Chain A
Amino acid sequence: MNLPSRFDANEWFILAATVLIYTVILFMPRRFPLSQSLYIWVFNLFLANLVDYVIATKPLDLYDVNDGPDYELFDLLLYLLLYGPAAYVIIYFYDRWKPKGWAAALYVTGWALITIVLEWLAVMFRVYQFHAWTHLYSIPSYIALYTLNLAMFRLLRSLYAKKPGA
């Protein structure tokens, strides 16, 4: 695994964001069984790997993550430590407030907009370097990703009453 070519703003941003998100999560009352929390982490690890591999590498190469096109330690930390917990917070409050219909659409759009602001900040700190990507593309992408996350979580929860062979 490559180490960062320079330990600067982007690495500090990832470390600070990690500390922040885990502080939030660890002070929230536990809501899901551990296996469901683990599922959220795995699902977002999978999504991030898939999306970045398809659109952030050649031939599309829409953006770079961290110091360049090569895969390095802080890319891994970004996947392992940040995407999953962020999705956890979104699913957590969805499950707590249980928005329906337009409220659910507003909830997802609201989180997508918050993420755009965070993404803008991450670009400032050179965590992402856009080539052909813009924040405008991120809005529908985040709405789709969060909707998928919520739909998949609901599906997973519905499976929990069932036993194998049932």
Chain B
Amino acid sequence: MDHVLIGILAVILVMVGLLLLSLRFTRNVLHPAERIVNWLMSAAVSTHWYIVITLTWKLIEYNKELPVLFILVLNRIFLIPSLTVWVIYGWFHRKWTIPQKAVVTAWWFLPVFGAEYLLHTLGLTEYHRWNQAAMLADALTMLGASLAFAWFFRRLLLREGECP
């Protein structure tokens, strides 16, 4: 089991590294401050929501080993926020059409749900009353809050004369 955990941890670390590096390519649309602040906000919302789901409602129980906790934290704090910044990039892109923006958003759900199912399939998380509707509500809340904040933050930057 330890080898499996270390393997997953390594894969997630590589993915996180690549995703963080890829955020450089969002600079033609997003202000540098926007990239940082939106990433932080998405990470805060995602972790906060996960704390509520696991500690308060106890809908998901996770294996109480340190590597498992690190995998969950990396998923919630680095993987999901980095993907969310890409969705925000898509939404703020002036040349992209509504269907293109919808496709980018749809792509966001694949790794987010995929990671959840992968952790469950590997036996790292156990579901109690946690189903696909709850998973969808969780994802939509995270995405909705992040996009609303991103929109608000862009308004602020525009007012301060910082955005294009």
Contacts and interface: CB of A to CB of B under 8 A. Distances in A.
A46 interface: yes
B44 interface: yes
Contact residue range for chain B?
Answer: 20 to 34
Contacts, number: 94
Interface residues of A, number: 33
Interface in B94-111: none
Contacts of A121: none
Interface string B20-32: 0000000111111
Given A39-B36, A54-B73, A159-B31, 18 more contacts: A33-B160, A34-B160, A35-B157, A35-B162, A42-B44, A45-B40, A49-B48, A49-B51, A52-B51, A53-B51, A57-B51, A58-B64, A70-B55, A156-B36, A160-B33, A164-B28, A164-B29, A164-B31
12 contacts: A35-B33, A35-B153, A39-B36, A49-B43, A49-B48, A50-B47, A54-B69, A57-B51, A59-B64, A159-B31, A164-B30, A165-B27
- A-B pairs, top 4 by smallest CB distance, nearest first, are A159-B32, A35-B156, A46-B44, A71-B56
Interface of A: 1-2, 33-35, 38-39, 42-43, 45-46, 49-50, 52-54, 57-60, 69-72, 76, 79, 156, 159-160, 162-165
